[in-house]
Amino acid sequence: MELSYTIFLLLLFIITGETVYATGGVKPTKLFVFGDSYSDTGNNPKSLASSWKTPYGETFPGKPAGRYSDGRVLTDFVGLRLIEVPLQVSKDCTSNQTMFMGIKSPLPYQWRKYGGNKLQNGLNFAYGGTGVFDTGNLQPNMSTQIGFLDGLIKEKVYTKWDLESSLALVTVSGNDYGAYTSSGGSEQGLSSFISHVVNQIGINIKRIREMGVPRVLVTSLQPIGCLPRETIFSSYQQCNVSRNAASNFHNQLLQQVVTGLNNSTKDSSFLILDLFTTFNTVLKNKGDFTGSLKFNTPLKPCCEPTSSDASCGSLDENGKKLYTVCNEPDSTFFWDSVHPSQAGWRAVYLTLRSSLNRIYT
């Protein structure tokens, strides 16, 4: 009986081109992305975003392209992981072929009218600098981003089948907390605000699931205290312990929310991509285990501003650079004061492989 079922699944793959699993699920063919600069691949306006300025994009694609890195970001590597998964026809039988038919990094939402058949890969609704709530940068927050997909569903750009064969990635890198602090929020009120943010994340990812997306990946908060904007005060030698404690509290609450949602759906629809542990692991090991160049000074960014009021990509009134760039971006985990380099994201991706594999179980 098991052999006949396996043969049936294999024939179904040959006929339809879809990877089918013994659990009855279908391999995702579309990726919908919501969040901030950790997943934005070009939505922010060119007139406002540093991601469209030199030296961003110098590694990939060789010029600024809207990504907050020298190259690829988390979105690109999640898509890459899907491409590399071997074809499975049952729980006990794996083909000796690797099927390169996964999800390509989806088109930024702002370019959707020019996307043509690229829309079949999904869409990226993430905008750098945004948060779960409004952060003051005038770009759409996460609820609004999800509303964009809802609008496309109502316009029948995406069908029920499109959603059932899709995957969602949701990134939260802490812009809400930066906005809270800059607007005068107190340390005493931070715990309550973190609870407010995480509760809204739960509402948002549940909404995505109810729209028809069967699996939602949501990132934990990275160790904010290890970002170069924090470690610069110790000459890039030490992380800020109190900032990391706040990240840890956020993640504890997020785990509770996700566990509750999975218990209610009874199908493990929600999965946390643990950036907190992953960042810490890569930084501690200096990237040694990834097979790439060693991150000799893992807390130091490749692109550094030369003054306190400048940032990567800044120029003075005469067009002079107010930043320096290292010779080998591949040897640094961080690209700028907040964002990983392409090599950094690759190291994160390699560390997250076991979690990403769960998409197919």
pLDDT of 221 above 90? yes
37 catalytically annotated:
yes
Please count the CA atoms within 13 angstroms of the CA of 162 that sit on its side-chain side: 16
User: How are beta strands 303-305 and 107-108 bridged, if at all?
Assistant: unpaired
CB of 19 closer than 8 Å to CB of 99: yes
Query: Are 305 and 314 spatial neighbours (Cβ–Cβ below 8 Å)?
Result: yes
**Segments in the chain forming alpha helices (H):** 2-16, 74-83, 142-154, 160-164, 175-182, 190-210, 228-231, 241-265, 275-285, 342-351, 353-357
Q: How many CB atoms lie within 10 A of CB 259?
A: 12
Please say if the pLDDT value at position 3 is more than 80. no
Q: State pLDDT tens for residues 310-349.
A: 999 999 999 999 999 999 999 999 999 999 999 999 999 9
Amino acid at 205: I
Distances (CA, A) of 222 to 61, 104, 118, 134, 141: 26, 25, 31, 20, 19
Catalytically annotated residue among 173, 247, 336, 341: 336
Percentage above 90 pLDDT, the chain: 74
Higher pLDDT, 17 or 205: 205
Question: Residue 165 has what pLDDT?
Answer: 92
Calculated CA dihedral for residues 235, 241, 242, 246, nearest 10 degrees: 120
pTM above 0.75, yes or no: yes
- CA separation, residue 102 to residues 162, 193, 199 (Å): 14, 38, 32
Return d(Cα 171, Cα 78) in angstroms, integer: 12
Catalytic residue among 36, 37, 76, 250: 37
Q: Which residue has the higher pLDDT, 159 or 360?
A: 159
339 catalytic? Reply is yes
- Identify the pLDDT of residue 291: 53
- Per-residue pLDDT tens over the stretch 72-101: 999 999 866 444 434 333 344 333 333 333
CA-based nearest residue to 287, from 345, 326, 236, 226: 345
pLDDT at residue 249, rounded to an integer: 98
pLDDT at 16 over 60: no
Averaged pLDDT for residues 139-164: 96
The pLDDT tens digits of the residues spanning 165-188 come to 999 999 999 999 999 999 999 999
114-137 pLDDT, tens digit per residue, is 888 889 999 999 999 999 999 999
Rounded mean pLDDT of the chain? 86
Catalytic entry in 50, 51, 105, 339: 339
- Please report the pLDDT score of residue 288 as a whole number: 65
Query: What does the pLDDT average to over 297-309?
Result: 95
| 192, 194, 195, 197: CA torsion to nearest 10 | 130
Q: Supply the pLDDT for residue 286.
A: 82
- Tokens read off for 236: 């890039």
Residue 225 reports pLDDT greater than 60: yes
Residue 105 has pLDDT above 50, yes or no: yes
The tens digit of pLDDT for each residue in 25-73 reads 567 889 999 999 999 999 999 998 999 999 999 999 999 999 999 999 9
pLDDT over 70 percentage in the chain: 82
